[in-house]
Structure 1
Amino acid sequence: MGNVVLITGTSTGIGRALALQAANAGHQVVATMRDTSRAGELADVADVRALDVTSAESVAELIAGVLRDHGRIDVLVNNAGAGHVGTVETDSVEDFQAVLDVNLLGVVRMTKAAMPHLRASRGRLVTVSSVGGVVGQPFNEAYCAAKFAVEGMMESLAPVAAQFGVRVSLVEPGAVATEFVANAVTDRAALLAGMGDYRPVLERYVARTEAAFAAAQSAEEVAAVVLSVVESEAPALRYQTSDRAREFVGVKLADLDGSRVLGVTSGMC
């Protein structure tokens, strides 16, 4: 059979689409989510397991179970994440901590736990980031801070992991038609009511964002890009999932696939 592919955040969206596509491509998929009652059709094609990336105990239990039942981990796809809309003056420190715990520390916990096994299999580490990991966007300070940190972590790890045969890649979607945005703003009225002087600025931002998401990629399109990275013989460090994402990221990042950066940092190992 194919690789043992461990994917986080598969209850909806990109993660779910990726798990289905990877299973259909012949891989042994371990699909994780906090609430396994949401597995649905995934249970027919994948090994569905419970995981809370904010819990070190949950991560350790998952990794041990995968190794016990599958014997190895060939690919880890860090996909679990949570959006957040707000600004630093009105957000609490606890808001920031919660966003960082899922989007940054969740990636750290999973990567740390999986790395010995990825080194053993000379495997792949793929992390679903965002164009918001390269270009900071209004009312996304906490989310972009987490994604910027993930990008820096993986860019730093890539040349080190490569010494042990582990290829590290980042995938940067733009707007994607999933439940992600709706989950980030569960109560718009309450959000706007608490914004004070920022309210009219946020209202304009939300209107523009909704227009952008009218032309969003599907989760299936993004998942297909991630799967191509998983299966690539020589994956790059960085991928954007659409022309629009490439154009947006290209405003800031001339080295679109990361090869120039890796060319420099690989010489440091």
Structure 2
Amino acid sequence: MSTGASVVLLTGAASGIGAATARAFADDGWTVYATDVRTEFPADIRERCRCLELDVTDSEQVEAVVDHIIEEAGRLGCLVNNAGYGVAGPVEDVSSDDVREQFDVLVHGPHRLAQAVLPEMREHGGRIITVSSVLGHTASPGLGAYSAGKAAVESLSDAVRIEVAGADDIHISLVEPAWVETGFADGALESLRDADRTPTYDRTYDALEDGWVLTGGPLATTPEAVAATVLAAATDDPPKARYPVGAFATFVRWTHWLPARLQDPIHRGFGRASALLGRWR
């Protein structure tokens, strides 16, 4: 793919990984359509990118934005699904409405966008890249609903990749970080404040609020590292199906292959140990 004349649609671009990815693509010479449900984009993103409002849960708006980009730019070579947020808490304590709303962003959003862009990509080729998480392979106590959403979008992306294999130069990739230094943890913690808490899960809540389950502590990577990986997925020839971000993400991903009797204590122990370390800081 020739990056100089390429056009990318990026969701969730107003902050964090999305903003860093918009900058990385702009630096590489792409025409960047930066979109977000919020329209308060950083000044440099507004200067260097074409910023649009996009709620990925709104099918009509998804179709309108994709049509606008193709009409204005002449083509659309790459879609980056980045929009997302986390609902935290033990599965028993998380409401079905919260899980449904999160799935609408994490899973149905990429589905809507894939349906909107694939006809264009079938004519000219293109790439669909989804920013997922190692939690799509390995669930974490207190993040079960989020892990489920990421597991679902991983399966969705795998299915699309197999379905379009060898056809019209369309490629599908997943980018899988572990923890990233963004506002994700703050948003997830906000979802805990009004939750009714089952006392059985006191340690799980401690790990969420005092430990590294949400933030990753010193194990977190930067948004720029994720952005560089997304750009690699957009420019590698050929691209890989999966791009873990960093050595720790690779390690967490491969713990999925351990038997449950070994895997489960690792996840419980990490949360409890990091909560103790958090209190000592």
The answer, yes or no, to whether TM exceeds 0.5 is yes
Cα distance in 1 between the residues matched to 2:91 and 2:236:
40
Between the aligned partners of 1:221 and 1:98, the Cα distance in structure 2 is: 28
Q: 1:123 aligns with which of 104, 126, 131?
A: 126
- Runs of 4+ deviating beyond 4 Å: none
| C-alpha distance in 1 between matches for 2:191 and 2:90 | 16
Query: Once the two structures are superposed, what CA deviation does each residue of 1:180-202 show, in whole Å capped at 9, x if it has no partner?
Result: 111111265444x6344322332
2:58 alignment counterpart: 55
TM-score, with structure 2 as normaliser: 0.85
Give SS of 1:117's match. Answer: helix
- In the aligned structure 2, how far is the partner of 1:98 from the partner of 1:189? 18
Q: What is the 5 A alignment of 1:58-69?
A: 58-69=61-72
* Correspondent of 1:199 among 174, 180, 202: 202
**Which runs of no fewer than 5 residues in structure 1 stay unpaired?**
255-269
Measure the CA separation in 1 of the matches of 2:74 and 2:203: 55
Shift of 1:210: 5.8
1:7 paired with 2:13, answer no
Task: Classify the secondary structure of the residue corresponding to 1:38.
Answer: coil
Q: Is 1:233 aligned to residue 204 of structure 2?
A: no
1:111 equivalent in alignment to 2:114 = yes
Give me the identity figure in percent: 32
More off after superposition, 21-30 vs 114-123: 114-123
1:251 to 255, 258, 266: 255
Match of 1:263 in 2: none
Change (3 A) 1:137 1:176: same
In the alignment, does 2:179 pair up with 1:179?
no
Question: Which residue is equivalent to 1:21?
Answer: 24
User: Structure 2 CA distance, aligned partners of 1:234 and 1:253?
Assistant: 27
Structure 1 residue matching 2:190: 3-state secondary structure: coil
Tell me how far 1:220 sits from its aligned partner: 0.6
Kept in 1: contact 2:88–2:191 (CA 8 A): no
> Helix, strand or coil: the match of 1:119?
helix
Question: Closer, same or farther in 2 for the Cα pair 1:114/1:172, shift >3 Å?
Answer: same
Q: How far has the Cα of 1:3 moved from its partner?
A: 0.7
Letter in 1 for 2:34: A
Contact 1:39/1:48 (8 A) holds in 2? no
**Map of 1:267 onto structure 2:** none
- Please give the secondary structure, in 2, of the residue aligned with 1:160: helix
Cα 1:60/1:215, change in 2 over 3 Å:
same
How many matched pairs? 253
Question: Which moves more between the two structures, 117-126 or 46-55?
Answer: 117-126
Q: 2:83 aligns with which of 73, 80, 91?
A: 80
Displacement of 1:39 = 4.0
Distance in 1 (alpha carbons) for counterparts of 2:82 and 2:19:
10
Output aligned runs, 1:148-187, within 5 Å: 148-164=151-167, 165-186=169-190
CA distance in 1, matches of 2:239, 2:23: 21
In structure 1, the partner of 2:262 is none
Matched, 1:242 2:246: yes
Contact persistence 1:176–1:213 (CA under 8 A): no
TM-score (structure 1 length as normaliser): 0.89
Q: 1:70 aligns with which of 66, 69, 73?
A: 73
Residue 120 of structure 1, CA deviation: 1.6
Q: Aligned-pair RMSD on alpha carbons?
A: 1.8
CA separation in 1, counterparts of 2:249 and 2:187?
A: 22
